[in-house]
Amino acid sequence: MSVQYRLLLENAEQIVVVCSKEEDFLLEDGMRNLAILERGSMVIGHDGLIKAVGPADSIRNQFSNASFENIINCTGKCILPGFVDAHTHPVWAGDRVHEFAMKLAGATYMDIHQAGGGINYTVEHTSAASEEELYNSFKHRLERMLRAGTTLVECKSGYGLKLKTELKMLKVIERAQRELDIAISSTYCGAHSVPKGKSAEEAADDIIAHHLPALKQMVINGELHVENIDVFCEKGVFDLESTKRILQEGKAIGLHLNFHGDELNPMNSAELGANLGAHAVSHLEEISDEGIAALAKAKCSAILLPTTAYILRLKQPRARDMLNAGVIVALGSDFNPNAYCFSMPMVMHLACVNMKMSLKEALAAATINAAYSLGRAHTHGSLEVGKQGDAVVINASRWEHVIYQFGGHQELIEYVVIKGKIV
């Protein structure tokens, strides 16, 4: 008999699915609730899409005459959607392990940045590295993310600042998009820091006059698949006005707005994001009440980054206030030389303990809401018929173990599945 389906995940103790209450269909993708299906199975087809997810008995009956390329008995295991990491800076050379001790001794992020360290240090090393070197270290980092259950990741440029190096980084991301299984949402982040000797205004002029037209042409030619534009909107970096100019121009060339804001100082970045129709604003430790209301109204997601608040000992983002106001809260690892964390399970753990999110809220933020922030909620972020067959199978009888256990999740995560393929 010919093989009809790619994968059957059979008889799991629990599968985390999206609520199927009727009213859910009236809600935005990013706001739907998660539900737990006890004793379930899931089928993924050769096109990589989910064909069925439901009670094990009914799947067994429905597919009794079908054949599968691969069958995995999930007795004693749970199935979760593949994790979506909504914010990372994974292409660079030159780690900053030396700055870790400085920070522990009391130096702030901005002290180090203004002394020429921080992003500037990474820019120097990344500019000097070859495309091949950058690709190899990037690929290794993506593999570590994948091992931790991430199946879709947003990846930023931003350690070039000069056009040539920014494009080098974007080409590295492009190669990974073509060659690797993990899905990538690519972000141009040329406004990550103001180059030495320039003002924010001059840097914005240069980006608008030179970077964005070059980027637009490469996207039109199909040489690059860049979806988002990011700016570090911060006191001493890009002020609100320069941020606005860059984002408006980015929007004009068809990019989704997804930027850093209200991290170290209140900047009204959230209000700006809501006004400009941004997909997301990240960080938001210093968001105002008005900013929270504006994000909720505009359905602009808040990407919270618990690793950064943790490592820099910042005020925790007000996740509870945002959730109570109806903001679509997403999570990201913020993997970068400052926050060296690949793991969404760790991020969810920190979000629950430090930001007081519930287990289900954290999982939704690391799956469906993160997909929403990247404009991918229709294909990623939940186990639903018709969506991409990306899943994480853990060796535990309750799904919450993936957040409850912190560290060492390599042993807990038994399979990572992308488009029905065990990767």
Positions touching ligand NIG (CB under 6 A) are 89, 118-119, 122, 232, 260, 263, 308, 334, 336-338
Q: Which is nearer to ligand NIG, 154 or 334 (CB)?
A: 334
Q: Which is nearer to Fe ion, 51 or 87 (CB)?
A: 87
338 binds, among ligand NIG, Fe ion, none (CB under 5 to 8 A by kind): ligand NIG
| Per-residue binding letters, 255-294, with Fe ion (x by CB under 5 A) | ----------------------------------------
Query: Distance (Å, rounded) from C-alpha 314 to C-alpha 58?
Result: 49
Tokens for 165, please give them: 């190096």
Q: Which is nearer to Fe ion, 285 or 334 (CB)?
A: 334
227 binds, among ligand NIG, Fe ion, none (CB under 5 to 8 A by kind): none
Least separation in angstroms between residue 290's CB and ligand NIG is 22
Query: Distance (Å, rounded) from C-alpha 400 to C-alpha 326?
Result: 24
Q: Which is nearer to ligand NIG, 16 or 194 (CB)?
A: 194
Least separation in angstroms between residue 124's CB and ligand NIG is 12
Q: Which is nearer to ligand NIG, 122 or 151 (CB)?
A: 122
* 221 CB-near residues (< 8 Å, 6+ apart): none
Nearest residue to the partner ligand NIG, using Cβ: 338
* DSSP type of residue 46: T
Q: Which is nearer to ligand NIG, 41 or 122 (CB)?
A: 122
* CA-closest candidate to residue 290, choices 265, 316, 268, 275: 268
**How do 68-73 and 5-18 pair as beta strands?**
parallel
Q: Which is nearer to Fe ion, 7 or 287 (CB)?
A: 287
Judged by CB under 5 A, the chain residues 191 through 220 that form the site for Fe ion are none
Least separation in angstroms between residue 372's CB and ligand NIG is 20
* Class of residue 132 by CB neighbours under 10 A (exposed 0-12, middle 13-18, buried 19+): exposed
Q: Which is nearer to ligand NIG, 119 or 276 (CB)?
A: 119
Tokens for 171, please give them: 């080409």
Least separation in angstroms between residue 409's CB and ligand NIG is 23
Q: Which is nearer to ligand NIG, 116 or 254 (CB)?
A: 116
Least separation in angstroms between residue 301's CB and Fe ion is 15
119 binds, among Fe ion, ligand NIG, none (CB under 5 to 8 A by kind): ligand NIG
Torsional class of 401: left (φ above 0), alpha (ψ -120 to 50), beta (otherwise): alpha
| Count of residues touching Fe ion (by CB under 5 A) | 1
Least separation in angstroms between residue 118's CB and ligand NIG is 5
Least separation in angstroms between residue 183's CB and ligand NIG is 21
Torsional class of 217: left (φ above 0), alpha (ψ -120 to 50), beta (otherwise): alpha
Judged by CB under 5 A, the chain residues 328 through 367 that form the site for Fe ion are 334
Output the DSSP codes for 285-313. Answer: TT--HHHHHHHHHHT-EEEE-HHHHHHTT
Q: Which is nearer to Fe ion, 240 or 412 (CB)?
A: 240
Can you say how many angstroms the Cα of residue 16 is from the centroid of all Cα atoms in its chain? 19
232 binds, among Fe ion, ligand NIG, none (CB under 5 to 8 A by kind): ligand NIG
Cα dihedral 23/329/355/189 (nearest 10): 170
Nearest residue to the partner Fe ion, using Cβ: 334
Tokens for 167, please give them: 């494009």
Least separation in angstroms between residue 232's CB and ligand NIG is 5
Least separation in angstroms between residue 92's CB and ligand NIG is 8
* Class of residue 288 by CB neighbours under 10 A (exposed 0-12, middle 13-18, buried 19+): middle
32 binds, among ligand NIG, Fe ion, none (CB under 5 to 8 A by kind): none
* CA-closest candidate to residue 231, choices 223, 240, 222: 240
Least separation in angstroms between residue 276's CB and Fe ion is 19
149 binds, among ligand NIG, Fe ion, none (CB under 5 to 8 A by kind): none
* 283 CB-near residues (< 8 Å, 6+ apart): 260, 261, 262, 263, 303, 304, 305, 308, 317
Query: Distance (Å, rounded) from C-alpha 155 to C-alpha 173?
Result: 7
Give residues in contact with Fe ion (CB under 5 A). 334
